[in-house]
């Protein structure tokens, strides 16, 4: 009878129930370059739907960090989660004030956010980690100047935090290519990535080998598109604004009516909760100056989600979380 019940609800259903059974939410901080690729917005929306995560801070990283903070704040306000503080991070690599979701936050004043806004988001990150009675998990889904700066100011955070990131390309590249790529979150700032991935904390990463394979379409995407949930509605509104901004520059991509883009960053949120659906390997990873992440037995060892045990199961889990 139990086997039949498990078969009916599926792997993702069993996993979701197991994740929620009896464990207190773990404190997490999310550092994101939200506003460039739309997958960061999917990842933040997913994290807001995960009761296993107690989000202590969301901080914009890289590029124009103030604009990223505005986007974070409006999403949190739409989700009715203004209990979560917003941090302004390091604006390394900033070119201008615009990003692909600027239209969605047009006219939104960061000062109107009902929750707390920390202009020095890096210091707030340090304070949260250093005063937490239990380890804080840093979910990092962008380039890493925030985390590198936090380590520079207070190296002891590596003793009190865990790192989970969407970084690198080990044996597979973009689109499942057999040739590894210089993945953006590493290539944008290799020095910061090297500093973070050599620090003495517990490190887990999803490289392109796993996160580069996630796209929702067919019944999975149709279910999301039909959802009336306010978080999903804000997510899809951002997706449409992002698509329109790219189309205005002649850039093509999937239609928001039929499928998602590649949802790289959602896998990092998943790994902050469980690793059950992934093939994990302990690997030494070296960060090169050109943005490649190379296997190197003499380099810092970390937990790498190198392949999927059940990719369809993860995609079902993702949809179930967003729609519940």
Radius of gyration of the chain (CA): 19
Separation between Cα atoms, residue 70 and residue 132, nearest integer Å: 26
- Average model confidence (pLDDT) across the chain: 92
Question: Per-residue pLDDT averaged across 19-36, rounded?
Answer: 85
If you search the block for the tokens 């910061």, which residue do you land on? 192
pLDDT at 227: 96
Cβ pair 150, 252 in contact under 8 A: no
What is the distance between the alpha carbons of residues 268 and 146, in angstroms, rounded to a whole number?
17
Q: Are 284 and 295 in contact (CB under 8 A)?
A: yes
Whether the Cβ atoms of residue 44 and residue 232 lie closer than 8 Å to each other: no
pLDDT-derived band at 12, boundaries 50, 70, 90? very low
| 96 — pLDDT class (breaks 50, 70, 90) | low
pLDDT of residue 63: 85
Render pLDDT for 251-303 as a digit per residue (tens, 0 to 9).
999 999 999 999 999 999 999 999 999 999 999 999 999 999 999 999 999 99
Residue 95 pLDDT level (bands cut at 50, 70, 90) = low
pLDDT of residue 97: 56
- pLDDT of 177 reads 96
CATH number of 2-323: 3.90.245.10
Q: What is the mean pLDDT of residues 133-151?
A: 97
Domain boundaries, the chain: 2-323
Whether 49 contacts 17, CB under 8 Å: no
Interval 47-81: pLDDT, tens: 999 999 999 999 999 888 899 999 999 999 999 99
Report the pLDDT value the prediction gives residue 281, as an integer from 0 to 100. Answer: 98
Please calculate the CA angle 24-167-234 and round it to the nearest 5 degrees.
60
Check residue 267 and give its pLDDT. 98
Q: Are strands 301-308 and 278-287 parallel, antiparallel or unpaired?
A: antiparallel
Share of the chain above pLDDT 90, in %: 87
**C-beta of residue 323 within 8 angstroms of C-beta of residue 223:** yes
């Amino acid at each position: 009878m139990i086997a039949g019940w498990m078969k009916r609800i599926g792997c993702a259903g069993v996993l979701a129930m197991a994740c929620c059974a009896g464990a207190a939410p773990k404190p997490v901080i999310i550092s994101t370059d939200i506003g460039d690729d739309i997958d960061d917005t999917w990842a933040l929306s997913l994290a807001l739907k995960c009761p296993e995560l107690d989000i202590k801070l969301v901080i914009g990283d890289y590029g124009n960090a103030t604009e990223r903070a505005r986007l974070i704040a409006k999403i949190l306000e739409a989700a009715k989660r203004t209990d979560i503080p917003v941090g302004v991070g390091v604006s390394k690599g900033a070119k201008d004030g615009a990003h692909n979701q600027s239209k969605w936050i047009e006219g939104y004043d960061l000062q109107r956010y009902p929750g707390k806004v920390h202009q020095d988001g890096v210091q707030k990150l340090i304070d949260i980690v250093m005063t937490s009675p239990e380890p804080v998990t840093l979910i990092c889904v962008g380039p890493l100047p925030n985390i590198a700066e936090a380590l520079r100011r207070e190296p002891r955070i590596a003793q009190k935090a865990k790192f989970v990131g969407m970084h690198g390309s080990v044996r597979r590249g973009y689109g499942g290519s057999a040739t590894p790529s210089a993945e953006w979150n590493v290539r944008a700032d290799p020095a910061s990535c090297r500093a973070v991935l050599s620090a003495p904390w517990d490190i887990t990463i999803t490289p392109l080998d796993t996160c580069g394979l996630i796209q929702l379409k067919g019944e999975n995407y149709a279910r999301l598109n039909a959802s009336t949930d306010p978080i999903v509605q804000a997510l899809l509104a951002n997706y449409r604004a992002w698509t329109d901004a790219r189309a205005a520059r002649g850039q093509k991509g999937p239609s928001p009516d039929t499928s998602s883009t590649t949802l790289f960053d959602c896998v990092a949120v998943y790994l902050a909760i469980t690793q059950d659906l992934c093939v994990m390997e302990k690997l030494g990873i070296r960060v090169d100056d050109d943005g490649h992440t190379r296997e190197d037995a003499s380099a810092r060892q970390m937990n790498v989600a190198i392949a999927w045990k059940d990719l369809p199961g993860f995609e079902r889990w993702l949809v179930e979380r967003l729609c519940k």
